[in-house]
Structure 1
């Protein structure tokens, strides 16, 4: 990714996640954290460090927004990559301490209005582990510049 001026801007991220399982009330989580936003010619990269709260301490999470596609990468104590593209399914491997799992991501909605001022990224998707649907997820990430 070539960056215009390769400047990482400090941002505040409000990350709200919802998980839906059939017949069960949605499981909702909300996380406020500091991170960075990097503007590139072909997209925007959001990055933050996971904490004890998420159970993934020592992991860096990155959202790479390029055109109609968002790639979520986690590296550190947890390593995984998920690709979101509206109307498409992508399969990836999810590393766990017990081995690798095949994960299918079917994205139903992907929209954002991110710019150098911040904005909102929203992704709705269903997830299948080893080809068995395990639930529907949605997350919204609100990005605000830190001054």
Structure 2
């Protein structure tokens, strides 16, 4: 896969009290590289109307996924099946303590792209708030026929 990629991130939090749930979805250009058995992605996003960007780093391997955000929000989330990982999600409005328990990980690799799907339970301040999923897909910009 080339260094310049198109990254598609899709996530959903299934709250017990929310009937109309819409997935969060972005498609952005980014960079890809492979090192020491792990796939790495980097992309930037604007979270609101401010001029500040947030840089996202995603590390994917058969063992799990790590997502780091640096900028307007700061967090380092670790998704490992069978483990509960705690982190702090720092936003301009305050800090949230999060617990992430991955219940399923699936990595698909091909010559032209990669896809990782994670199912997980999300806790806030030690209280279960949602069952969620996150799908990250990257494909070479010149291989528009890649679909998983």
TM-score > 0.5, shorter chain as reference: yes
- Structure 1 gaps, min length 5: 1-6
The alpha-carbon distance between structure 1 residues 30 and 56, as it changes in their structure 2 partners (threshold 3 A), is farther
Shift of 1:14: 1.7
Aligned residue number for residue 16 of structure 1:
10
- State TM-score, norm by structure 2: 0.83
Structure 1 pair 35–15 and aligned structure 2 pair: CA distance change class (3 A): same
Q: 1:50·1:56 contact (CA, 8 Å) conserved in 2?
A: no
In 2, Cα distance between the equivalents of 1:101 and 1:109?
24
Q: Which of the numbers 57, 63, 67 marks the counterpart of 1:68? A: 63
Pick from 75, 92, 97 the counterpart of residue 87 of structure 2.
92
CA deviations over 1:45-93 (Å, ceiling 9, x no partner): 1111012469895101111123412111001111001100112111111
Asked if the contact 2:61–2:107 (Cα under 8 Å) also holds between the matched residues in 1, the reply is no
CA drift of 1:98 comes to 3.9
Output the CA distance in 1 between the equivalents of 2:84 and 2:127: 14
Calculate the TM-score normalised by the size of structure 1: 0.84
1:25 matched to 2:16? The reply is no
How many positions carry a matched residue from both structures? 141
| Unpaired stretches in structure 2, ≥5 consecutive residues | 143-148
